[in-house]
Structure 1
């Protein structure tokens, strides 16, 4: 296990920058909070790019020992390829959401400070800090703390409007999150009691196929699945999205659930021995396949646009779990393809789903409703928002040359290469179902409105451009040569071995 590496100080800065910005925004308040948040998130994007470049150039993870103490006495920050890729994805989406929120969350003229804008900008920085801690942490307990901070920051953003219906739906989210937290915490207690550490690298050396380890992994996995809203633990996600502001929905769907998924990968690929992990992976992939099919079918039946996009999230999360049995199948080439496909799916989904929710929010704001059957005229009134929704939908469907296509193609070929053709069938079926509900929205938006319908008010072009930019990134990921994604392979253990 390595000590502090050259460039490790960047990891400390990636955590300290949003935390310092949040405290400064809270202290100064008012209109200053917006300027601080935009500046910090812009610098955070540059910093995430520097970390990714440093990891790629070194060909090895960056590490930093806090206080110079080695685990298990001390704590360690680490950025391997997975952490660097997800940190950069999160930084770009956060910056885009901040730019989108400038119109809706600006402090009103003549007012020194307003509750909703102040809350939005400070908790946006809290979310950025929590995501950095979740991606860079090397200790399972501190990753738990990061997930808890992330949950409460996301809840605050989701309840921003203060409507009673928001509180009811977000209380359900909190209930599932707390159940997940209790299960995860019980698992960490078992692991610590059995091995005397919660450091991931040390656990990779010490943990075996013993009963305490397997029971702890089962409890922690159940807790993380509740936080990720994997079918059938998805009941909190659609209502939470339906009542949240567009910016909060974009972050919940695009980023918040990905932090729990990264932690799940740390547990299953790094900590668990390959034999029990390989035996349990098909069960998780089966739940993922059920999420793809059931979530897509329910999305097809939705009458409200935001609920349609929310159930699409339930479905798209399922693709992430298809990588587990492929990575653990024992074929090195298929494992590398499946790993790249899974991480690329997580990144392209983050951009596409953020674009979808922001576009849906713009359409609903302009029309005064989000009923799918009454979207006529939206394409003429706000063409960029509808185009952004369509491009994001193409990525979710897996249509070339989008990032979603490349991700699903890698997973599909890995499934066929390892003889697990049934996952390939699920991928193809899920793409067809996704096309069905994306078509419903686009076809309705491009029809002429009824003669008696009021003319929708076009939104400001700034937010539309942000949504379109996110959608274009989700498509552009498919145009990047596969060799350029070597970053995500750095630090990946082979069949659950140590990094």
Structure 2
């Protein structure tokens, strides 16, 4: 009954802490500054330590109980109350975000360690505050159960990500940030229009209730189409990707890593929730094919464009758009008669691709930032000597490249193998061809960089030293991306937690 008390799971308050801890750290930074705390970075690291512990506790609860973790805010059930919910997929996404945030922070500390009153201190303060705000918005997007709350999470994510793009304050980064903001706001308008239609139709925005109440009429399909269209712009799916390359390429390396690894994943995660948890009845095969075709276009077109780039960070940015395309192949590859989507190898491959790409791309951007610092530029044709100047960073770049290419033993290899197997078994041969060609194109642009970087340094080259701790942060992310291919996977158990229609052992 509407307004009944909602029974929260034991430990459900952890979901609130996952959202609030980064916010508390962000809000405490100016207060601590008044008390003459020297570095915002110190408070950020303390916040990250607590946040990682909370996320770990959420994952332990979800895996240990085999059930979704639920918390009803105020103890009231939807639609009057709001619920937070973490199933197996949410727990994986939160763990991925916590890992990337922690290692990016380790990388960024020497770069953004100035006190607020020192030269560059306000820039450093802004970075740490925005990083905490971004992390809170990500966690809210991963555990939110109300479509309007998810809209709020997306807006908070945008307002944290856009300033990170133009943190350097140059004209080029300001222009890139404004372009990003325009695309994000257009996406928000489309999403909010869809939310309004659903609320007018059903009187609730709770995902669980919509799953029970929604039925496949024109208004429902139109609303979800509007919402997915807006989210596609935020996720930079081709051809709505024009904002991403200049934004990610111009931002500082730690910001680029977070933007590419995490920010574009949140709208995709919400698309997954809409498609599999809200959309009534069986998924529409024509719509799934359309999303897969856009993903295929992203893989082919943006991989070719990446191959033609002169700058390393631009190449990685276009590679991000291409790799995002693999995620949208999943919607067609999860259609099996009589089989829940989350029990298919297409679902497992798509989710593994999401995580492995996040780790690999964060490692790539961090490594590229160190290469640019050591050489003073990131022009690919002039990278000779990088192998001697920053060998650990180049090794991290190469390891991350294994995942993008889909070579064993990386997580990207397992993900692309599962997607390729799903395409072959379902008779979608064109998807199998796209995956194969995409892997070859990724190999071409990654090996192009490695070949130039491992060439002997020219005479008279001057390089700058970089902190070894920063190189190790990039290497750790790359090793995690590879390790996903080495761990024995039991994905159905984990990814099916909290999903209806799957019997867990």
Higher helix proportion: 1
Taking the TM superposition and a 5 Å limit, the aligned residue runs for 1:95-134 are 95-107=102-114, 111=118, 114-134=121-141
1 CA distance for matches of 2:256 and 2:442?
19
Taking the TM superposition and a 5 Å limit, the aligned residue runs for 1:66-81 are 66-81=73-88
2 CA distance for matches of 1:158 and 1:295?
21
2 CA distance for matches of 1:154 and 1:425?
35
Q: Deviations over 1:69-108 (max 9, x none)?
A: 1000000000001110000000000011111110110116
2 CA distance for matches of 1:391 and 1:54?
32
2 CA distance for matches of 1:45 and 1:485?
25
Give yes or no for the alignment of 1:279 onto 2:283: no
Q: Is the 8 A contact 2:58 2:91 kept in 1?
A: yes
Residue in 1 that maps onto 2:22 = 18
Residue in 2 that maps onto 1:403 = 411
Give yes or no for the alignment of 1:457 onto 2:461: no
Q: Deviations over 1:231-271 (max 9, x none)?
A: 00000000101210001100110000110011000101111
Q: Is the 8 A contact 2:295 2:329 kept in 1?
A: yes
1 CA distance for matches of 2:117 and 2:147?
47
2 CA distance for matches of 1:110 and 1:76?
42
2 CA distance for matches of 1:89 and 1:405?
18
Give yes or no for the alignment of 1:290 onto 2:297: yes
Normalising to structure 2: TM-score of the pair? 0.95
Structure 1 residue 222 displacement after superposition: 0.7
2 CA distance for matches of 1:235 and 1:494?
39
Q: Is the 8 A contact 1:26 1:122 kept in 2?
A: no
Taking the TM superposition and a 5 Å limit, the aligned residue runs for 1:5-404 are 5-29=9-33, 31-107=38-114, 111=118, 114-330=121-337, 332=339, 335-404=343-412
Structure 1 residue 458 displacement after superposition: 2.7
1 CA distance for matches of 2:366 and 2:251?
11
Structure 1 residue 333 displacement after superposition: 7.9
Q: Is the 8 A contact 1:340 1:489 kept in 2?
A: no
Q: Deviations over 1:143-201 (max 9, x none)?
A: 01000000110112121111121100110000000000000000000000001111000
2 CA distance for matches of 1:99 and 1:255?
17
Moved more, 84-93 or 45-54: 45-54
Structure 1 residue 34 displacement after superposition: 1.2
How has the CA–CA distance of structure 1 residues 201 and 467 changed in structure 2, closer, same or farther, with 3 Å as cutoff?
Answer: same
Q: Is the 8 A contact 1:274 1:328 kept in 2?
A: no
Structure 1 residue 113 displacement after superposition: 8.3
Structure 1 residue 449 displacement after superposition: 2.1
How has the CA–CA distance of structure 1 residues 464 and 292 changed in structure 2, closer, same or farther, with 3 Å as cutoff?
Answer: same
Moved more, 228-237 or 109-118: 109-118
Moved more, 153-162 or 470-479: 153-162
Q: Is the 8 A contact 1:278 1:329 kept in 2?
A: no
Moved more, 389-398 or 9-18: 9-18
Indicate the SS of the match to 1:76. Answer: strand
2 CA distance for matches of 1:333 and 1:217?
20
Indicate the SS of the match to 1:353. Answer: helix
2 CA distance for matches of 1:129 and 1:18?
5
Q: Is the 8 A contact 1:124 1:153 kept in 2?
A: yes
How has the CA–CA distance of structure 1 residues 277 and 63 changed in structure 2, closer, same or farther, with 3 Å as cutoff?
Answer: farther
How has the CA–CA distance of structure 1 residues 493 and 304 changed in structure 2, closer, same or farther, with 3 Å as cutoff?
Answer: farther
Normalising to structure 1: TM-score of the pair? 0.96
Q: Is the 8 A contact 2:330 2:419 kept in 1?
A: yes
How has the CA–CA distance of structure 1 residues 130 and 62 changed in structure 2, closer, same or farther, with 3 Å as cutoff?
Answer: same
Residue in 1 that maps onto 2:422 = 414
Q: Is the 8 A contact 1:52 1:487 kept in 2?
A: no
2 CA distance for matches of 1:468 and 1:113?
27
Q: Is the 8 A contact 1:326 1:414 kept in 2?
A: yes
How has the CA–CA distance of structure 1 residues 216 and 121 changed in structure 2, closer, same or farther, with 3 Å as cutoff?
Answer: same
2 CA distance for matches of 1:225 and 1:494?
28
User: For structure 1, which runs of at least 5 residues remain unmatched after alignment?
Assistant: none
Q: Is the 8 A contact 1:31 1:113 kept in 2?
A: no
For the aligned residue pairs, the C-alpha RMSD in angstroms reads: 1.8
User: For structure 2, which runs of at least 5 residues remain unmatched after alignment?
Assistant: none
Structure 1 residue 483 displacement after superposition: 1.6
Structure 1 residue 332 displacement after superposition: 2.5
Q: Aligned residue pairs: how many?
A: 494
